[in-house]
Amino acid sequence: KTIIHKPETTSTQHIAHQLAQEGASHGTIVIADEQTKGKGRMNRKWHSSKNEGIWMSIILRPAIPPHKAPQLTLLTATVLADVIMKETNIKPYIKWPNDIIIHNKKMSGILTEMQAEQDQVQYIIIGIGMNVNQDIKSLHKEIHTKATSLKMEADKEFDIRYLVQKILQQFEKTYELYLQKGFPVIKTKWESYGFRIGEKILIKTMNHEWKATFSGIDHDGGLLVRNLDDGKMEKLYSAEID
């Protein structure tokens, strides 16, 4: 498998898109020490300081229809949670769909982008951002109150190369499992890390906010919630929760 390492780049997502367009194979990895234009979901900025975190993108060419792509985001979240749990003994939570939370603060995020044609996935790029060795001083001011790093939670420095290796090994193992057994195994694992399952949550969609009970995720990876007003079950594919 090809791993492309850049000391500095705009965004590994950007490089991965270019490579995928040029035909890069399934499993190609792009990783950077620093990103000058790291991007997060919803067009947000992703702070990616030099040598303090994992900034990488994985190119996949799965034989799945586009509507199943969210499953791979959830799969990746379980991979990160498993590695964090193993390396720190701290139980992380996954906030739907893909934030890794420790002590109510965000440590890691995933950005999945897809290129599809006629109900056929051309490629999927899974971007992984993980705050590793930042301390309160180096964590960007804008995210101080909401974000954390592995070091801040576990009180020690981590070897980034070693963590990347563990993540890639675990990713490969979990991906194989997913191909053999399908999404149910991933769903069970995801729910074991699920943040606020069974609790009342605030749902923010494009033009409104409402409260509901978080029931779990469905077989596609959508969010299952019970509306507090009429008791009806609803399924959401795109929203933010709080």
Tokens encoding 91: 């139980």
Total residue length of the chain: 242
Q: Which residue is nearest to ligand BTN (CB)?
A: 109
Of residues 49 and 213, the one with the C-beta less far from ligand BTN? 49
Of residues 52 and 99, the one with the C-beta less far from ligand BTN? 99
Of residues 77 and 226, the one with the C-beta less far from ligand BTN? 77
Of residues 130 and 198, the one with the C-beta less far from ligand BTN? 130
Question: How many other CB atoms sit within 10 Å of the CB of residue 63?
Answer: 8
Tokens encoding 163: 């963590």
Q: How far is the CB of 219 from ligand BTN (least distance, A)?
A: 24
**Hey, which residues does 99 pair with through a beta bridge?**
95
Q: How far is the CB of 37 from ligand BTN (least distance, A)?
A: 7
Buried/exposed 128-146: b ≥16 CB within 10 Å, e otherwise? bbbbbbbeeeebeeebeee
Q: How far is the CB of 16 from ligand BTN (least distance, A)?
A: 8
Q: What angle do CA 67, 21, 127 make, to 5 degrees?
A: 60
Residues lying near ligand BTN in the complex (CB under 6 A):
11-13, 35, 38-41, 44, 46, 48, 55-57, 99, 109-111, 127-129
CB-CB contact of 193 with 94 (8 Å):
yes
Q: How far is the CB of 173 from ligand BTN (least distance, A)?
A: 21
CB-CB contact of 212 with 197 (8 Å):
no
Q: How far is the CB of 20 from ligand BTN (least distance, A)?
A: 14
Of residues 140 and 226, the one with the C-beta less far from ligand BTN? 140
